Amino acid sequence: MRCVLRLMPLLLGILLLAVVPALGAGTLRIGLNEDPDALDPARSGTFVGRIVFAATCDKLIDLDPANNFVPQLATAWQWAPDNLALTLTLRDGVRFQDGETLDAEAVRANIERYRTAPESLRKGELGPLTAVEVIDSHTVRLHLARPYAPLVAVLSDRAGMMLAPQAMARLGPHIADELPCAGPFKLTERVAQDRIVVDRFPGYWNAPAIKLDRIVYQPIPDTTVRLVNLQAGRLDMVERLGPTDVAKVTADPHLRLISTTALAYYTLSINLAADGPLAHNPGVRAALEASIDRVALNHVVMDGQFTASNQFEAPGSRYWNAQRPVPLRDVANAKQLLAAAGTPRPTFTLITGNSPVEVQVGEVIQSMAGEAGFDIKLQAVEANALVATTKAGAYDAALVLWSGRADPDGNVAIWLECKGFLNWGKYCSAKFDDVLTRARSVTEVAQRQVLYRQLSDIYLADRPHIVLYHVKWLWGISDKLTGFTPTPDGMIRPQGIQLAP
């Protein structure tokens, strides 16, 4: 039976090869780790959704390979002397995919939707925004109730993606059906769990940078199946290549490995509103962390490709707290903590994604924590089901990925601010929110470093999350593909990508 199960990914891969039609050289075929959720920047919460948006929805501001903010739909931005307003100058000659013109009024309509629409998940990110002022057709000014330094970073993500205003009015919350943005590719087709097809938009403002006619995204959760399709030439690129598959890619003369250090990390989100000692006793959460060997986890599951981590900022990075290094495993201490809490054998369910890597991470944690006395039940689910379950608060603990942000606020506030838009675990600390407010009010790096490190001291003591590791983005690509520029945010930007016949 085990042999049959081991053969299943390969058999599924062969089946996929049989049913996916051959496409022209102008079509880039990308294997995704999972299927995105709603293709609406206001409602989206998945990493792979952002990959699709990178081809379809340009942003006001973008991020370059060095984590610098650079112009995209906005050519310039400037803070007011009191940091209570940000003025943006818009690019001339930009059209949406339905023919509408991008101007200051269109930007106002988009940002107002993000900050007020019932369906929007961007409200928290834009919370300090009080008004969007149209200065002229190419200038818009964002007014704030209080200084909010992360705003530039917010506009480099989904809240900075612009959609055609008339289409927004016509489609309302169903905007994902058409997704008329200002990016280089237009949504053509979506078949859930099967494919997303986008076609080149001839009216794109930066058309010379686009060398492809079509991109087809295929969600394939099994890393082995993705690799089989890449090796057979039915995919041109796979994102999040399995770390254990790196050697196979580097040994194949027709494939290339591209990698870069990521902003992204995996963390255990703990639902503090759930029943049981894990939710209600910090000592039990401390015992869970003490039972985990992050370095061994990285070597066993990821072949040492990733970086053991305990903070939302990567070790050695600008905002990392060097005074709180990754703790070593201490099973004896974990047992003592459980005994002191009066729960020598706590039980809880850990939800993971259904990819082989995430399932194996869950199994290793289950084994490690079991040696300390924990009884962990595992539940592997499809990515969108995981998001729905955690969003509903119907979980004890969940292994979740955050793709990371260049600004430290975007790595911590989402989870832990009382009103954070991904605060599924219902953590709420007045002390944390107070320091966060002060951190957001300053723009000087040295001052921000002190405050964001204070935030790490708070969450590392409370443990509403247990960060496990920062990842390295691993892409496997065909030797026919050139021009791909990797960035720490893990996006696949189509500008410059070409495919040989």
Q: Which residues contact 130 (CB under 8 A, 6 or more apart)?
A: 143, 144, 145
Strand, helix or coil for residue 92: coil
For residue 248, being part of any structural domain is answered with no
Distance CA 403, CA 401 (A): 6
One domain for residues 102 and 206:
no
> Which pLDDT does position 14 carry in this prediction?
40
Alpha helices by DSSP H, listed for 22-164, are 47-56, 104-116, 151-154
Entry field: residues in the chain: 501
Looking at residue 112, which CATH number applies to its domain? 3.90.76.10
Q: For 392-396, what is the mean pLDDT?
A: 96
One domain for residues 411 and 268:
yes
One domain for residues 369 and 317:
yes
Q: For 194-216, what is the mean pLDDT?
A: 97
One domain for residues 209 and 283:
no
Query: What residues are paired with 348 via a beta bridge?
Result: 376
> Which pLDDT does position 384 carry in this prediction?
86
Residue range of the domain that includes 137: 61-170
Q: pLDDT-derived band of residue 11, with 50, 70 and 90 as boundaries?
A: very low
One domain for residues 200 and 297:
no
Query: Where are any strands of DSSP class E within 85-236?
Result: 85-90, 129-136, 139-144, 185-191, 195-200, 214-219
> Which pLDDT does position 22 carry in this prediction?
39
Looking at residue 384, which CATH number applies to its domain? 3.10.105.10
One domain for residues 386 and 307:
yes
Q: pLDDT-derived band of residue 25, with 50, 70 and 90 as boundaries?
A: low
One domain for residues 357 and 487:
no
**What would the pLDDT profile of 105-128 be if each residue is shown by its tens digit?**
999 999 999 999 999 999 988 999
One domain for residues 370 and 229:
no
Tell me the helices (H) and strands (E) count for the chain, helix number first.
16, 19
Domain tally, the chain: 3
For residue 187, being part of any structural domain is answered with yes
Backbone angles phi, psi at 48, to 5 degrees: -65, -25
For residue 257, being part of any structural domain is answered with no
**What would the pLDDT profile of 348-382 be if each residue is shown by its tens digit?**
999 999 988 899 999 999 999 999 999 999 999 99
Backbone angles phi, psi at 86, to 5 degrees: -125, 120
Please indicate whether residue 220 or residue 19 has the higher confidence score (pLDDT): 220
The percent of residues in the chain predicted with pLDDT above 90, rounded, is 85
Of residues 150, 47, 23, 30, the one with CA closest to residue 358? 47
Backbone angles phi, psi at 361, to 5 degrees: -60, -45
